[in-house]
């Protein structure tokens, strides 16, 4: 179950970046579950990673490799997270990197591993290594759609975004894919995401850009409040277009950054739309806060409240649950009489209680929609924050109760 249109967009190839997908039979025989990505020599990569203390072996190894080498290949497997696996997990991740290095004729340290799936199970290294040559032989700049399918777990559909724009009189491209449906609560990024551009960027600037983009996109979504052990969001710059960001005028630099942010936001919102069991796409917009922290505290408390989320699933305009969540968001000295709450454009609460103009029919009309905006005005400052979330359905419980079966 998912919200919104199920249509995969046109994906523009990124010169200097190739993707190849194969089946390793990691969890489901015949399913495409192994993706190899190739970065042209001289390209740059930066990323953000989960802050979960039990971060997976591939996350540990990728962080080490990206800091000490110029990575050339990324290897992603689904069906097994290689998390909670201790030293043997790290050895298995190294074995995959060394095997990929042998296939490509490079050092294993120039390979970045990524995994997603069940936590605590040994990585089936032999199956992955056996399938690497197939994925390598499938490498193509047009391999985005197969890769988008190959990185999925409980997702019901692939997620992609792509754009071309003119910079310095040339056409440049930004294209990306992501996966994620459950165990989604950002604490850096969330899930797995890979975005590439053919604009030239130094690694230091690339890191700034991915940090900024993630903070405004993947760090603004939540499905269930659970931060994964395997979260990574990577940004690659091949430079193959011949356009260097440092040589562009400020206006064109701003255009590139805006387009890049749009790609990240699209990929993040697609994850929410495909949240496990989701029937609603919900925007929680908090405005008039004293600072970002209190706005986010209110937004996440509302978005992650089981009572609010189940009311959303039932299309029940039980606005008292929203008020209760705002009240426990630990905002210091909150003046509840100053708070206003809207469902869509309908004012539902003010002056500490139900708005005089509100009717149940108005609230019901909003709650019956697939896409809902909860707008909260704190009226105590000038800061605003927005996050995106889902409802909580029967299917969410079923999917996660049966995840290992």
| Residues designated as active site | 190
> Cα 203 from chain centroid?
21
Rounded Cα–Cα distance for residues 187 and 233 (Å): 12
> Cα 5 from chain centroid?
18
Q: Tokens 């809902």 belong to which residue?
A: 372
Rounded Cα–Cα distance for residues 314 and 293 (Å): 30
Q: Rg of the chain's alpha carbons, rounded to an integer?
A: 22
Rounded Cα–Cα distance for residues 297 and 185 (Å): 13
Provide long-range contacts, Cβ within 8 A and 24+ apart, for 291-296: 291/381, 291/383, 292/383, 292/385, 294/329, 294/331, 294/332, 294/378, 294/383, 295/378, 295/383, 295/384, 295/385, 296/385, 296/387
Ramachandran angles phi, psi of 11, nearest 5°: -110, 115
Q: 301, 391 in Cβ contact below 8 A? A: no
* Phi and psi based region of residue 90 (left: phi greater than 0; alpha: psi -120 to 50; beta: remaining): alpha
Q: Which residues of 75-91 are buried (b: 16+ CB within 10 A; e: fewer)?
A: bbbbbbbbbebeeebbe
């Amino acid at each position: 179950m998912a919200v919104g249109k199920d249509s995969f967009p046109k994906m523009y190839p990124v010169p200097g970046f190739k993707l190849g997908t194969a089946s390793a039979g990691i969890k489901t025989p015949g399913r495409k579950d192994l993706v190899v990505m190739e970065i042209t020599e001289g390209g740059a990569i930066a990323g953000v990673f989960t802050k979960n203390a039990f971060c997976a072996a591939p996350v540990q190894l990728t962080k080490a490799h990206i800091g000490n080498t110029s990575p050339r290949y990324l290897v992603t497997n689904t069906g097994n997270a290689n998390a909670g696996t201790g030293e043997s997990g790290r050895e298995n991740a190294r074995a995959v990197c060394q095997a990929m290095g042998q296939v490509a004729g490079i050092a294993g340290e120039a390979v970045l591993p990524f995994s997603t799936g069940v936590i605590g199970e040994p990585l089936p290294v032999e199956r992955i290594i056996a399938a690497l040559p197939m994925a390598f032989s499938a490498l193509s700049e047009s391999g985005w759609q197969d890769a988008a399918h190959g990185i999925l777990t409980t997702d019901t559909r692939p997620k992609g975004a792509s754009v071309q724009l003119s910079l310095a009189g040339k056409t440049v491209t930004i294209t990306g894919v992501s996966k994620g449906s459950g165990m989604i609560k950002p604490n850096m990024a969330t899930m797995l995401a890979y975005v590439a551009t053919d604009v030239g960027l130094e690694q230091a600037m690339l890191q700034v850009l991915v940090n900024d983009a993630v903070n405004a996109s993947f760090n603004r979504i939540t499905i269930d409040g659970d931060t994964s052990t395997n979260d990574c969001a990577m940004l690659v710059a091949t430079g193959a277009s011949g356009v260097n960001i440092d040589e562009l005028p400020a206006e064109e630099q701003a255009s590139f950054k805006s387009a890049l942010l749009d790609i990240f936001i699209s990929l993040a919102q697609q994850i929410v739309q495909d949240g496990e069991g989701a029937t609603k796409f919900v925007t929680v917009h908090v405005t008039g806060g004293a600072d970002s922290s209190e706005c986010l505290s209110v937004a996440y408390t509302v978005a992650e409240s089981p009572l609010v989320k189940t009311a959303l699933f039932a299309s029940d305009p039980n606005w008292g649950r929203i008020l209760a969540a705002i009240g426990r968001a630990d905002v210091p000295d909150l003046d509840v009489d100053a708070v206003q709450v809207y469902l869509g454009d309908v004012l539902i609460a003010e002056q500490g209680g139900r708005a005089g103009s509100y009717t149940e029919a108005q609230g019901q009309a909003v709650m019956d929609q697939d896409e809902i905006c909860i707008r909260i005005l704190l009226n105590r400052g000038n800061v605003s924050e927005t996050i995106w979330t889902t409802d909580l359905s029967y299917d969410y419980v079923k999917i996660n109760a049966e995840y290992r079966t």
